[in-house]
Amino acid sequence: MINQDFFLALEDLEREKGISQAEFISALENALVIAYKKSTGVSGGVEVRLNPEKKSIKIYSVRNVVETVEDVEKEISLEEAQEIKKSYKVGDVVSVEIISKNFGRIAAQTAKQILMQKLREIERENTVSEFEDKEGELMACTVRRIEDGNVYVEIGGNQIEGVLMPKDQVPGEKYELNQRLNVYVKRVKNSGKMAQIVVSRTAVGLVKRLFENEVPEIKQGIVTVKGVAREAGQRTKIAIASEDASVDAIGACVGNKGARVNAIVAELGGEKIDIIPWSENPLEYISRALSPARVVKVIQTGDDSAMAVVPDDKLSLAIGRSGQNARLAVRLTGWKIDVKSESAADAEFGETVEKTEEE
């Protein structure tokens, strides 16, 4: 049943799945014990020992040496034990190799089923172990199959399977077999019989990590990402600030001739990106967040709510198609923003709104 090819396969399994031979052999030995007992009806002590060096497998009957035998399958008398080996004494364990003719197809099949279950458990544990500190990270992967709208990818050094579900796919983005992608690790699901890596192409964290990779000043902590608001596949607003007055945060993110931001835009399939200079003044921050529209004035109207006044001919630009620009500004700043044209604001307040354009 077990031959040299089997042990060679164990070595391949260790390389391909990252599962140690010792871990696998332990699971297999336990599985074969269960299979042997099931096929023979034996309920006593049984051990199966695999030796990778000798490429061998042996089955042993294991019984405790006692003065009075109460269970013949688990116990052996001192007298009988000493017939096997004179040095045995009460309390010792006697192991005798079993030459089994009944350990056939049914037992092997049962062992295989139990073994596959153990294999899945070990793979799940390895998956969770490898990725438990990878949540929130950007990782490269390869598309391996597409089923029922889900895109399954190989990710990480051990080619663990990750899933890109429809809600995490960018609308209009096409995925093909063997395609290389950068994905954001959302979470590791360890439920029941399987572990699954849930990845995303729509998460705001994906944009943040792309900027960190592309802009050294962000990775070094000189430029800080203060916030990201995104509608995947269409537009992203990212707010940044420089921790060093001599460093231009916008210039660092844009790069020479736009090289850095253009690389990120290309990775995101042409998604538009507004890079916003953050301000600790919330009204000034709101004004900047409504870019590319020019804002005349921002008036606070309540706790975390404000009215942004824009030129009449810039109202549609400030609001954006289907309200997208204003909606992203709200998410970025955390404020409720009411965007009005100058004429509408004048009519509401009964006076001309003073223009205080940002220098």
Of the chain, the percentage scoring pLDDT greater than 70 comes to 87
Q: Do the domain assignments include residue 58?
A: yes
Strands (E), the chain: 46-51, 56-66, 75-77, 93-98, 138-147, 150-155, 160-164, 180-191, 194-200, 223-231, 235-242, 272-277, 297-302, 305-310, 336-341
Is the pLDDT at 278 greater than 90? The verdict is yes
Asked if 212 and 186 sit in the same domain, the reply is no
135: in domain? no
Q: Between residues 71 and 242, which one has the greater pLDDT?
A: 242
Task: Please tell me whether residues 213 and 195 are part of one structural domain.
Answer: no
The answer to whether the beta carbons of residues 157 and 62 sit under 8 Å apart is no
Give residue 226's pLDDT.
97
If asked whether residues 49 and 167 sit together in one domain, one would say no
Q: Which of 278, 303, 324 is the last residue of a domain?
A: 278
Quote the number of domains for the chain.
4
Query: Could you give the percent of the chain with pLDDT greater than 90?
Result: 56
Is residue 293 included in any domain, yes or no? yes
> Residue 114's pLDDT is what?
67
Looking at 263, 278, 293, the residue that finishes a domain is 278
Both 93 and 10 in one domain: the answer is yes
Residues 126 and 175 in one domain: no
Mean pLDDT of 66-78: 89
Domain assignment present for residue 184? The answer is yes
Q: Summarize the confidence of residues 122-144 as an average pLDDT.
A: 81
Q: How confident is the model at residue 2 (pLDDT cuts 50, 70, 90)?
A: low
**Does residue 314 share a domain with residue 253?**
no
Q: Name the residue with higher pLDDT: 49 or 251.
A: 251
Domain that holds residue 258: 203-278
The answer to whether 48 and 35 have CB atoms below 8 angstroms apart is no
The answer as to whether 17 is a domain residue is yes
**Pair (8, 126) in one structural domain:** yes
- Whether the per-residue pLDDT at 103 is higher than 70: the answer is no
In a domain, 174, yes or no: yes
Contact 55, 11 (CB under 8 A): no
Check which CATH number belongs to the domain holding 18 and give it.
3.30.1480.10
Q: Rounded CA gap, 249 and 253, in Å?
A: 6
Same domain, 269 and 349: no
State residue 108's pLDDT score. Answer: 62
Q: Quick one: 11 and 91 in the same domain?
A: yes
Residue 27, domain member (yes or no)? yes
Question: How far is Cα 16 from Cα 8, in angstroms, rounded to an integer?
Answer: 13
pTM of the model: 0.67
More confident residue, 127 or 348: 348
Rounded CA separation 224/93 (Å): 66
Residues 6+ apart with CB under 8 A from 258: none
Q: What are the tokens at 23?
A: 């871990």
Q: Are 18 and 158 within 8 A, CB to CB?
A: yes
Residue 236 in this model has a pLDDT that exceeds 90: yes
CATH number at residue 293: 3.30.300.20
Q: Is residue 185 located within the same domain as residue 223?
A: no
Other C-beta atoms lying within 10 Å of the C-beta of residue 9: 11
109 within domain boundaries: yes
Give me the pLDDT at residue 357, please.
43
Place of tokens 């709510």: 305
CATH number of the domain that residue 155 is part of: 2.40.50.140
Angle at 116 between CA 108 and CA 18, to 5 degrees: 125
257 and 350 both lie in a single domain: no
Cα–Cα distances (Å) from 73 to 34, 62, 319, in that order, read 15, 8, 82
Same domain, 45 and 122: yes
> For the segment 146-195, what is each residue's pLDDT rounded down to a tens digit?
999 999 998 876 667 889 999 999 998 999 999 999 999 998 876 656 66
The last residue of one of the domains, among 100, 130, 160, is 130
Distance in angstroms (rounded) separating the CA atoms of residues 115 and 107:
12
